[in-house]
Amino acid sequence: MSKNKQQTSFHVLSLGCPKNLVDSEVMAGLLTSRGYEPVTDPRDARIIIVNTCAFILPAREEAIETILLAATYKKTAACRHLIVAGCLPQRYGAELAEALPEVDLFIGTGEIPNIAAYLAGISVPGKIPRINAGRPSFLMNAAHPRRLMTPPHTAYLKIAEGCGNRCSYCVIPALRGAARSRDPRDIIAEARNLTRRGVKELVLIAQDTTAYGRDLPGGPTLAGLLRELAALEEPVWIRLLYSHPAKIDPELIRCLSGNEKVCPYLDIPIQHIDDTILAAMNRRGNSGRIRSTLQMIRERGPDIALRTSLIVGFPGETRERFQALVAFVRSARFDHLGVFTYSREEGTAAAKLSSRISAAEKERRREMIMEIQASISGELLRQRIGTTMKVLIEGKSDHPDYPFVGRNSRQAPEIDGLTLVRGEKLDPGRFVSVRITDADDYDLFGEVIDNSP
């Protein structure tokens, strides 16, 4: 590495959700376009940027641990400048600046596009404030360069920013601002850029994808956007995450079940099923609406894979209300399900609610539901044995009998199970047809029958 590149080498440590990852990719892309040199090992980086999550306590704890580790590289490795970005400084800028003197610069979620300007001025004492966390108004567009941090065949496509739902337990509106959608033409332009780079799977994300377009002139819809993306010439999967159950309509279900490029997959975080808890959470809709939505999906799109997430231990979740949630999980039979224990977040409406549910009891409830879900997931996966599925190869596996690993259209990256594959010379990013031969609670196993579907 040349001396100049040593001086401008950087590494981004990205924490939290895929939405945060896209911000990290934008920062890395902007810096690379300005001549900075990305390096894969943070110990080799002159500049380390930690892009943080502050959604719940475990995320904040992870962020602090990562920042402190990066700070050690100022003494033991190449690091000369440590920058903390994203949700944590947006929420706790002043407190962080006092507690972490090792950090040279704090920037909030609205300052992502200005990262190069901040780095240009960081070496001059007093030129820029140490804390920069103004109004969170940034909305990326196709002109922003991105340095992908995902495998090259998969990319997240952020279609909107912020949120207007105001759930009582959530700090996202304060960290990310009001809901604001990207112009559909701009999203299509970025999708084309990504597929030209070899991306085979576009994963649509936003805080609430089903709110897409409601703030734009002409009222473009999520279903309309999916149809436009499906019209792209390149062989690509289009996957949808983070859909609010109160905003799912028949038009969206038709898009998810009627186009081979659109994955028959729907992520619907319902959080709970008890009406008292849903009201306390300020969730739109009630248990009846949730049940009728699920019924509509299964009637109109019976092969759509359903994923949800739940919160247990919310204030007011009595044993009876928890048991109602357990009964619902048993009857709803989601393909994929995740459970979070309630985290009290200061500044939220729910923080004012009293709760006597211990951390140990919250964890017990989480484990109970996950044990039930493991059984349901295993039963549903075993029904796939003998079928043929299209699989996107991710790479090599450690399994002695199934040397490759991939995902089918019913498996989202990072959060769902995998499909382990027996075959030869299967390159990452390749679509193959696989006959399913076995299953466990979360993964499928199969053999290639056609490597050029």
Domains of the chain, by residue range, sit at 3-132, 154-382, 388-450
DSSP 278-333: HHHTT-SS-HHHHHHHHHHHHHH-TT-EEEEEEEES-TT--HHHHHHHHHHHHHH-
Q: What is the mean pLDDT of the chain?
A: 93
How far apart, in whole angstroms, are the C-alpha atoms of residue 426 and residue 392?
10
Residue 1 pLDDT exceeds 50: no
- Residue 128: per-residue pLDDT: 84
In the predicted structure, residue 125 carries a pLDDT above the cut 80: no
* Coil, strand or helix at 95: helix
Q: What is the pLDDT of residues 35-51, one digit of tens each?
A: 999 999 999 999 999 99
Taking the C-alpha atoms of residue 415 and residue 21, their distance in angstroms, rounded to an integer, is 15
Assigned CATH class of 154-382: alpha beta
- Assign 356 a pLDDT band (cuts: 50, 70, 90): confident
Q: For the residues 166-182, what does the mean pLDDT come to?
A: 92
Q: Region 327-347: what's the mean pLDDT?
A: 95
pLDDT at residue 4, rounded to an integer: 53
Fold of 3-132: Rossmann fold (3.40.50)
pLDDT band with cut points at 50, 70 and 90 for residue 452: low
The tokens describing 424, both together, are 């030869």
* Structure-model confidence comparison of residues 329 and 177, the more confident one: 329
Neighbouring CB atoms inside 10 A of 127's CB total: 10
- Summarised one tens digit per residue, pLDDT across range 372-384 is 999 999 999 999 9
Give SS3 for 44: helix
Condensed to tens digits (0 to 9), the pLDDT of residues 141-159 reads 999 999 999 999 999 999 9
Task: Using the predicted structure, report yes or no on whether residue 203 has a pLDDT greater than 60.
Answer: yes
Q: List 12's β-bridge partners, or say none.
A: 49
At 67, phi and psi to the nearest 5? -60, -45
What does the pLDDT look like over 86-116, one tens digit per residue?
999 999 988 999 999 999 999 999 999 999 9
Coil, strand or helix at 11: strand
Q: Where do runs of H (alpha helix) occur along 48-166?
A: 57-76, 87-99, 115-121
Q: What are phi and psi of 6, to 5 degrees?
A: -60, -40
Q: What is the mean pLDDT of residues 6-20?
A: 91
Q: What integer is the mean pLDDT of 334-352?
A: 93
pTM: 0.93
* Number of residues assigned to the chain: 453
pLDDT at 243 over 90: yes
* CA distance to 139, 214, 357, per residue, from 185 (Å): 15, 15, 48
Percent residues over pLDDT 90 in the chain: 86
Is the per-residue pLDDT at 5 higher than 60? no
* pLDDT for the residue 3: 41
**Is the per-residue pLDDT at 451 higher than 80?**
no
For 54, other C-beta atoms within 10 Å of its C-beta total 23
Superfamily designation of domain 388-450: Nucleic acid-binding proteins (2.40.50.140)
pLDDT band at 285 (very low <50, low <70, confident <90, very high): confident
Spatial CB neighbours of 412, under 8 Å, sequence gap ≥ 6:
203, 239, 241, 265, 267, 307, 336
65 has a pLDDT exceeding 60: yes
In sequence order, the β-bridge partners of residue 9 are 37
Write down the pLDDT at residue 235: 79
Lowest mean pLDDT among 45-54, 168-177, 435-444: 168-177
